[in-house]
A and B are shown apart, each in its own frame.
Chain A
């Protein structure tokens, strides 16, 4: 524990800026993964334990596409849509067979796929750490804000994620598709009686979750080292985010992700050994105070 350095960090604008920006980076990536997780849970009432693997696949797709095309825009879209396709196939062919069954089976199907995805990554990309490198577009000198260093890529990452979060909110709250999704979450059999193919809708929700996770992976690829198994740690963290924000709530996922990001960065200054512990402690406090999460409604 190192309270003194935490206090001195709050005393200097440079330190606060640096910690807040890296907290935002963690928070934004977490938000993209957690938004998909919470969306899938809200609609299908299953927790997609393979969601972290989608993030990992997105990052590795980005690695390959960037190497081949050298275009980061193409990389972002390719990784996102590639992972969306994986999500769609995974849901239609495997996950859809275990809905409404014992939860044990859902857990096992996901467990099997986490093992398979990790091994596939090992076979295709190797078991050692890989890194994509910063796209040339962002290889410019960092910006200084109040003495704190802010790499331009960080600004891009935060900006893009906020735009995507806004779009996602618009799609769910303001479009016909979003209305159907919300209706299915509420009462799937009624929606299918009204002539809407819920099976395809489930697949699309999984694809949307995969899209977000894959996009997060592609955004993370320049600033994180890639390794098989990188998906599992972000899975746990984004689950904590959704518990804090409330299962099924996208706004909750955003707030929860920002909170966890800031807790992680400031925690690593003040409590280097207990950073992870702080996250869990915060989650437990929220669960005790409000079991449905900060923005959750019905389910707990």
Chain B
């Protein structure tokens, strides 16, 4: 386990270095914006895949943590004037606490109940955001910008530095989540997904493992929300709306649930798709809905699932397997 963690760290360091150096060679504002948004969504979607792909828990309310991360970070920065790292840490505590409370009620339930109940809790959060106008600004969102004071010589109001910070958070978050799914805990989670009854017979505390997974997913989803609120310098009700969860579920399915990087691939595809679709038509829902149906009814699995299947069935791999035997 330690070896794989070290290897992850080295690959991560290389990835961060490459991402940081890229704009020096290719200064492109659109690319920088795209990557910041991508980092936010990729963390959010990968955290959902912890539940869907590894835990077999299809949450349809994961957007609540995205919204919660964005709003609590934005409010802390606007109201208390604390430093960015302090607000970041406190936001993690807040999302973890909410995830613990919601998870304690939801994770016992069967899958379809689980999906709908998480959605119901998200809509509760959404209605709070809309109704509690003095705190959240209602349907206008948190306006007036989020102050982004410098800390340790880092100024996140500067788009280039925010880009670097987002890359570090993305890669760091992915390494941590990869470590989680490759740990004994991650394998226990897979066992529960495949056969919860047998896991319970083997002495696994199913409820506790599922709850921990729910809280961890909530935390990383919240970090995605923090990046987004830094990027737009605000927080809007859409962040907490159900469409956010729908998009995350679609990203996870689009990319594929059987590989760790599936949701990252899905994020890149969906963001590119968004940019193209909104450029050509105002009927975003109609187009996106049709594409979703194409994937769900046509391909019936994610892109990386499809490629993985194709790879495993290719004559070359089959021949290699035969030779190995």
Binding site for B on A (CB under 8 A): 41, 45-47, 94, 97-98, 101, 103-105, 107-109, 111-116, 118-120, 122-123, 232-233, 236, 239-240, 243, 247, 273, 276-277, 280, 283-284, 287-288, 291, 299-300
Asked whether, in the complex, the Cβ of B285 is within 8 Å of the Cβ of A115, the reply is yes
Asked whether, in the complex, the Cβ of B296 is within 8 Å of the Cβ of A115, the reply is no
| 8 A Cβ contacts from B82-139 to A | 105, 108-113, 115-117, 119-121, 123-124, 127-128, 131-132
Question: Main SS of chain B's interface residues?
Answer: helix
B52 nearest CB across to chain A (Å): 7
A9 nearest CB across to chain B (Å): 21
Q: Does B308 lie at the interface of the complex (its beta carbon under 8 Å from any beta carbon of A)?
A: no
In the complex, what residue of chain A is closest to B110 when comparing beta carbons? Answer: A300
Query: Which of A97, A120, A236 has the most B CB atoms < 10 Å from its CB?
Result: A236
In the complex, what residue of chain A is closest to B101 when comparing beta carbons? Answer: A284
Binding site for A on B (CB under 8 A): 52, 58, 60, 105, 108-113, 115-117, 119-121, 123-124, 127-128, 131-132, 242, 246, 249-250, 252-253, 257, 283-286, 288-293, 295-297, 300
How many contacting A-B pairs (Cβ < 8 A)?
113
Asked whether, in the complex, the Cβ of A103 is within 8 Å of the Cβ of B115, the reply is yes
A229 nearest CB across to chain B (Å): 10
Asked whether, in the complex, the Cβ of A97 is within 8 Å of the Cβ of B297, the reply is yes
Asked whether, in the complex, the Cβ of B297 is within 8 Å of the Cβ of A300, the reply is no
- A273-B131, A276-B124 known; A107 vs B293 contact (CB < 8 Å): no
Q: How far is the CA of A97 from the CA of B286 in the complex (A)?
A: 20
Asked whether, in the complex, the Cβ of A104 is within 8 Å of the Cβ of B295, the reply is no
7 further interface pairs, Cβ-Cβ under 8 Å (given A109-B296, A113-B289, A239-B120): A94-B297, A105-B253, A109-B293, A112-B293, A115-B289, A123-B283, A280-B121
Asked whether, in the complex, the Cβ of A103 is within 8 Å of the Cβ of B300, the reply is no
Q: How far is the CA of A97 from the CA of B298 in the complex (A)?
A: 10
Q: How far is the CA of A273 from the CA of B290 in the complex (A)?
A: 38
A-B interface, 5 closest residue pairs, ranked by CB to CB distance from nearest: A112-B292, A115-B285, A116-B289, A115-B289, A119-B285
B150 nearest CB across to chain A (Å): 38
Q: How far is the CA of A123 from the CA of B123 in the complex (A)?
A: 26
B290 nearest CB across to chain A (Å): 7
Asked whether, in the complex, the Cβ of A115 is within 8 Å of the Cβ of B115, the reply is no
Can you list 30 pairs linking A and B with CB atoms under 8 Å apart?
A46-B112, A47-B112, A47-B116, A103-B112, A103-B115, A104-B58, A104-B249, A104-B252, A105-B253, A105-B296, A107-B115, A108-B250, A108-B292, A109-B296, A111-B249, A112-B291, A112-B296, A116-B285, A116-B289, A116-B290, A243-B113, A247-B113, A273-B132, A276-B124, A276-B131, A277-B128, A280-B124, A283-B120, A291-B108, A299-B110
Asked whether, in the complex, the Cβ of B297 is within 8 Å of the Cβ of A109, the reply is yes
A86 nearest CB across to chain B (Å): 15
- A273-B131, A276-B131, A287-B105 known; A236 vs B123 contact (CB < 8 Å): yes
B210 nearest CB across to chain A (Å): 16
Q: Which residues of A contact B117 (CB under 8 A)?
A: 243, 287
B129 nearest CB across to chain A (Å): 11
Q: Which residues of B contact A291 (CB under 8 A)?
A: 108-109
- A111-B249, A119-B283, A273-B132 known; A300 vs B289 contact (CB < 8 Å): no
Asked whether, in the complex, the Cβ of B289 is within 8 Å of the Cβ of A112, the reply is yes
In the complex, what residue of chain B is closest to A108 when comparing beta carbons? Answer: B296
Query: Which of B52, B290, B293 has the most A CB atoms < 10 Å from its CB?
Result: B293
Q: How far is the CA of A284 from the CA of B102 in the complex (A)?
A: 10
Asked whether, in the complex, the Cβ of B300 is within 8 Å of the Cβ of A105, the reply is yes
